[in-house]
């Protein structure tokens, strides 16, 4: 399969690149900077995901080169941890641009390439912070809540193209996004899960494996949270 993953320079994105190369797929990744990761089955694009023109050119180049895209994983995201009263509007806009508008534009740009696949899949990233309505992360949670709505509505609107659209809501995972969160705050979060531990890259890959299986043609509009979290 040809799999497009956004935000592949590090963290979850890079782990997914390695996972799906190991499974024999071809991966097209992107991030704001060049990637240090090199592999015969990996091509990296430098793309500013807040720039519509750059995204369109990225999608066009991928389509020209590979024809079809089977899976689009909208992984790129940023976090913002601040009380509402301490969140500048510009910060909120930046979070919304990267976490919601970027997957909105990326998805739009890759529709034609996805339509050429026999089992096209779109996977979005939410977070358990949405069902937790996590205080101190308003902009981040609002952007991911928007991603959840987009996932459910796109599932309906793209069903006629045979494209399934699902999302995963990871628990905290040890990445750069959580590196600066105070340990007691992380522990409080973990305590709200049914299974009180950090998520691993493997846990995320497992859910995505399920979504992208050919036999998951009838699974769409779903949000799976890790760690036993429910809405």
Closest CB to another protein among residues 57, 206: 57
Contact predicate 44/34, CB 8 Å = yes
The answer to whether 10 contacts another protein (rule: CB under 8 A) is: no
Q: Site for another protein (CB under 8 A): which residue of 43, 50, 51, 56?
A: 56
Tell me the closest approach of the beta carbon of residue 112 to another protein, in angstroms.
4
Kindly identify the residues of this chain, within the stretch 90-119, that bind another protein according to CB under 8 A. 108-109, 111-112, 115
Output the CA–CA distances (angstroms, integers) from residue 18 to 40, 53, 120, in the order listed. Answer: 12, 28, 21
Bridge pairing between strands 26-31 and 121-125: unpaired
Could you say which of 33, 40, 64, 89 contacts another protein (CB under 8 A)?
64
Among 3, 59, 141, 208, binds another protein (CB under 8 A): 59
Looking at 32, 34, 41, 60, which residue binds another protein (CB under 8 A)? 60
Give the residue, chosen from 18, 63, 185, 192, that forms a contact with another protein under the rule CB under 8 A. 63
Identity of the residue, 157 or 217, whose beta carbon is nearer to another protein in the bound complex = 157
Binder among 43, 51, 57, 206 for another protein (CB under 8 A): 57
| Number of amino acids touching another protein (CB under 8 A) | 14
Q: How far apart are CA 168 and CA 223, in angstroms?
A: 5
66 counts as binding another protein under rule CB under 8 A: no
Please report, as residue ranges, which positions from 156 to 215 form the binding site for another protein (by CB under 8 A). 157, 160-161
SS (H, E, C) the chain: CEEEEECCCCHHHHHHHHHHHHCCCEEEEEECCCCCCCCCCEEEEECCCCCHHHHHHHHHHHHHHHCCCCEEEECCCCCCCECHHHCCHHHHHHHHHHHHHHHHHHHHHHHHHHHCCCCCEEEEECCCHHHHCCCCEHHHHHHHHHHHHHHHHHHHHCHHHCCEEEEEECCCECCCCCCCCCHHHHHHHHHCCCCCCCECHHHHHHHHHHHHCHHHCCCCCCEEECCCCCC
The nearer residue to another protein, 114 or 226, going by C-beta atoms, is 114
Q: How far is the CB of 59 from another protein (least distance, A)?
A: 6
Instruction: Kindly tell me which of 34 and 157 has the beta carbon lying closer to another protein.
Output: 157
Task: Pick between residue 156 and residue 213 the one whose CB is nearest to another protein.
Answer: 156
Interface ranges with another protein (CB under 8 A): 56-57, 59-60, 63-64, 108-109, 111-112, 115, 157, 160-161
């Amino acid at each position: 399969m040809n799999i497009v993953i956004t935000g592949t320079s590090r963290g979850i994105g890079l782990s997914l690149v390695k996972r799906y190369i190991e499974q024999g797929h071809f991966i097209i990744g992107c991030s704001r900077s060049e990637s240090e990761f090199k592999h015969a089955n990996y091509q990296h694009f430098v793309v500013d995901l807040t720039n519509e023109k750059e995204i369109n050119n990225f999608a066009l180049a991928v389509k020209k080169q590979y024809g079809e895209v089977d899976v689009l994983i909208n992984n790129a995201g940023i976090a913002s941890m601040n009380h509402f009263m301490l969140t500048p509007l510009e910060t909120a806009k930046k979070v919304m641009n990267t976490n919601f508008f970027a997957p909105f534009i990326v998805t739009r740009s890759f529709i034609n390439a996805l339509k050429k696949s026999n089992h096209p899949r779109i996977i979005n990233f939410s977070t358990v912070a949405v069902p937790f309505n996590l205080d101190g992360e308003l902009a981040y949670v609002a952007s991911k809540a928007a991603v959840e709505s987009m996932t459910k509505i796109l599932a309906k609107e793209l069903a006629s193209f045979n494209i399934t659209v699902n999302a995963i809501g990871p628990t905290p995972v040890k990445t750069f996004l959580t590196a600066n969160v105070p340990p007691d705050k992380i522990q409080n979060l973990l305590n709200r899960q049914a299974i009180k531990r950090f998520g691993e890259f493997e846990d995320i890959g497992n859910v995505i494996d399920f979504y992208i299986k050919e036999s998951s043609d009838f699974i769409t509009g779903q949000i799976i949270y890790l760690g036993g979290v429910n809405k």
